[in-house]
Amino acid sequence: MKPDNKNIKICVVGLGYVGLPLATALAKHYPVIAYDINKNKIEELKRGLDSNGETKKNLIINENIDYTFDPKKISSASFIIITVPTPVDEFKRPDLTPIIKACQTIGKNLSSGSIVILESTVYPGVTEEVCVPILEKTSGLKYKKDFNVGYSPERINPGDKIHTIDRVVKIVSGDTPKTLAVIARVYGSITKIFKAKSIKAAEAAKVIENTQRDLNIALMNELKIIFDKMDLDIIDVLEAAKTKWNFLPFYPGLVGGHCIGVDPYYLAEKAKSIGIHPQLILAGRRINDSMASYHAGKIIKLMISKNINIKKAKVLILGATFKPDVKDLRNSKVKDLADELRKYGCDVEFFEPMVDKKEIWGYENIKKNKIKSKVCDLVIKAVNHKKIGKIQFDYEI
């Protein structure tokens, strides 16, 4: 296969926070089939609407992009990219169901000579040990004879207008040198690339990126607990410490979302399967997962000190998404905070300006114009949205 624009047609499978920006970027150079199983999402995208609010209308509407929920159109693509979620189940175990289903759909519509690239965050081995057998079984094609695979981990950061897809280094890998050359050419047309030595190395690189961040934030959270006990403001401590040239400026907080709060479990599960119990990785997860409960306890003590009746106390939480200035509620630890406060008998409401819903997780989401007239016993600033601005609050996370 000669890697030029004329004979490469791309299909992006999954049009969420990762897939849509990737499809619009690639469409500047190649014809793109943008596939998603969500029919309503496809109809919105055809009108130029991104429900996540991340991609502009002028980029979505492009004659080079064919938005579709028809899987048969995948068969016309020679370069297929999987950008589906990789969550964990209720027991914190990797749930590869979205990837498995995507591979089944692709396999049923896979044409000979195609390359399939996985972008979803996984543990080392998933591309070749999970995806390839499914693609072979459902397509009837032979791996490395009729089709090839690669891995190029996504580095989309929702809400980040600086580290956009065209401004970050993209790791690429392939099962053969020829496959890698084509993958490098395609991704190289939209951003800088780094060629990993193997598919497993690329998979491992991605999963440790977020594991490293998770552990650093866990350290800050543990330090916060220690300094709180000493009546020390950790922000004051960190402002002083970061004047040293090699100090890493991480901060404490609630760690949620679909990456940092999830990816370490993928690496941990793989480690267990080869007989290693990852102590540090799981210790960091335990600390970060416990912080909502820790903050709830502090909030209850604060209300008691102010002689507020905990039962039916009206608590307003500002922000519900997993990070500032995004609409994504997935795996947000603010929900855990609200649930903990409700256990004590508090009447909890949200003000979440990024989410156009009357209710969030069964809690009322009040409108902005109601805040000034709202009578609350306590106001908590949980997420630092720009739209929240300088609203007064009693407790900040």
Among residues 89, 134, 143, 137, the alpha carbon closest in space to that of 112 is found at 143
Residue 325: phi and psi, rounded to 5, are 65, 30
In angstroms and rounded to an integer, the radius of gyration of the C-alpha atoms of the chain is 23
Q: What are phi and psi of 356, to 5 degrees?
A: -90, 65
Q: What are the Cα distances from residue 364, in Å, to 323, 349, 388?
A: 20, 5, 17
Cβ-Cβ contacts under 8 Å for 275 (sequence gap 6 or more): none
Under 8 Å between Cβ of 274 and 239: no
Tracing tokens 């220690």 back to the chain, one arrives at 226
For the chain, count helices (H), then strands (E): 13, 14
Active site residue 259: yes
The one catalytic residue among 11, 131, 259, 346: 259
The structure tokens listed for 188 are: 């190289």
The catalytic site residues sit at 259
